Amino acid sequence: MWDSLDSLVPLSALVWVFPIIFLIHDGEELLTQPRWKQIIQSRPARLARRRWLWRPWMQLFDIPRSRLAAAVAFIFAIVVIVTLRTISALRAGENLRLFTIVVTMLLLNAFTHIVHALLTRRCPPGAATSVLVLLPYCAYTLHRLSLSGKGMATIDGHVLGLAAIALLATVAAAHLFARIVAP
């Protein structure tokens, strides 16, 4: 299915487009966060019945937009550093395991948005770009990394576990940074 595309798109192009993909996705989150906060706050009866489901999301989206933007900026800085390191590794013929893990982190992030949308039966911030942008990009990039022999051959439980821990740690560090710079 992807054979004709493989010859047209160099792996370096997929690496360079990574920060753009991140900005599209997190831009959607920044733009739709206030509307989502209003939706959540306008449904108190429904929320009471599903408190276990909504409470974590209410706390996550009950932060000022400036703090969310600071967290996004922190993560974007990491994305740029990883992108530059990956391009350097690609030119030197080194392995791309770090990039494989980071793309897997993005894929896991997409799944969290999709599961959130399924559970709430709404379109929360990040869900649209998760389906339309992140899933196709991550699937194709992981496919290309596997073909190149420089990434990890398969995404197994170890890679998923490492990516999940790295994702949680990155998000926690970003929100800690955001609390410091945008109180």
Rounded Cα gap, residues 5 and 155, in angstroms: 22
Q: How many CB atoms lie within 10 A of CB 21?
A: 20
**Mean pLDDT in runs of 10 for the chain (183 residues)?**
77 96 94 76 58 59 83 96 96 91 94 86 88 96 87 72 90 90 84
Residue 120 has what pLDDT?
Answer: 75
The closest alpha carbon to 104, from 133, 153, 139, 131, belongs to 139
Sequence-separated (6 or more) residues with CB below 8 Å from residue 3: none
Domain count of the fold of the chain:
1
Residue 61 has what pLDDT?
Answer: 59
**Would you say 100 and 142 are in contact if contact means Cβ atoms under 8 Å apart?**
yes
**Would you say 85 and 19 are in contact if contact means Cβ atoms under 8 Å apart?**
no
**Would you say 70 and 126 are in contact if contact means Cβ atoms under 8 Å apart?**
no
Residue 2 has what pLDDT?
Answer: 62
pTM score, whole prediction = 0.85
Residue 150 has what pLDDT?
Answer: 77
* The token pair that represents 72 in the structure block: 């996004």
Residue 42 has what pLDDT?
Answer: 67
Domain extent at residue 74: 3-181
Rounded Cα gap, residues 74 and 70, in angstroms: 6
By CB neighbour count within 10 A (0-12 exposed, 13-18 middle, 19+ buried), where does 154 fall? exposed
